[in-house]
Structure 1
Amino acid sequence: MKKRRYPAPPERIKLFRTAWEELAPEASFSGMTLQKFVEDTQPLLDNEAEIKRLEALTEAALRKKDELETKARRILRNVGRAVSSDAGHGEDSPLYSAMGFVPFSERKSGLTRRSKSTESPPADPPVDPGNEAA
């Protein structure tokens, strides 16, 4: 038998309120009138609405942050290029290094050469499982 899952409390409050308003607005349950139920449960609904509002604001702020970071990256790239090509500073200047770049004189070429050692081949060649003799 499948276990029954109830909706989250805010959805259940809305469900209870709608049913109570439409089917038994004058009834009292658990010593509580519809008006008292609404008053006691409204803070949760208000909090839920505030959370959704803040989530929307956060999402908008994150989109704006992404746009601003893209613009800042472009500015940083342009300033870095200008410093590296400036006659008074250039790629080997302390300013260029202080900005986080690797000075030209400290760069490595990236070229690596394999050593030509005389290694002997493996003693036993790999065995193919499909061609083993029984």
Structure 2
Amino acid sequence: MQVTKGDLQKGMSKMAKVTPGKVEENYERFMVAWENLTPTKSFGGMTLDQFKATVLPSVDARKSVRDAQVVLEGAIENRDNVDQATIKAMDAIKKSVIADPTVGGDDGALYEALGFIPKSKRKTGNTRKNSKKEVPTP
């Protein structure tokens, strides 16, 4: 992480530019390096075990976030699956309304209230462009 003198003068701390992913990456790197190179030495007034205890809430919080993401992904998948039945039911109702002349079919108020454009209000799409081209006079 590169923090410039200008960043510090603006009041930004060195940790301000660290993303949650970087925090995890960094504390894991700290633990591996400390364990492998100087496991019995103390730094910053704490032992390796004390540091591990200090970062444990971060580890637990990340696990909670991952667990919540799994639950959310499952809920989204479930919603998408049950929406298929909802879509089929709405399509069946739409087709029934179109086929029922007592409610006006595809030109009735119910059809429009369901969110569709009644047949009489639809544009034809025929633009009938002017076929006469004006020839400029010299």
TM-score normalized by structure 1? 0.70
Distance 1:8 1:122 in 2: 73
Moved more, 15-24 or 69-78: 15-24
Task: Answer with 1 or 2: which has the greater Rg.
Answer: 1
**Identity between Structure 1 and Structure 2 (%):** 31
Task: Tell me what 1:46 maps to.
Answer: 60
- Helix, strand or coil: the match of 1:115? coil
- Deviation at 1:69? 3.0
CA distance in structure 2 between the partners assigned to 1:122 and 1:19 by the alignment: 87
Could you list the runs of 5+ residues in structure 2 that have no partner in the other structure?
3-17
| TM-score, length of structure 2 as denominator length | 0.69
Matches within 5 A, 1:1-134: 8-89=22-103, 90-120=105-135
Q: Which has the higher contact order (CA 8 A, sep 6+)?
A: 1
**Over aligned residues, Cα RMSD in angstroms?**
2.7
Give the paired residue count.
119
Q: Where does structure 1 lack aligned partners over 5 or more consecutive residues?
A: 124-134
Greater share of helix residues, 1 or 2? Answer: 2
Rounded to whole Å, the distance in 1 between the matches of 2:49 and 2:137 is 86
Change (3 A) 1:122 1:37: farther
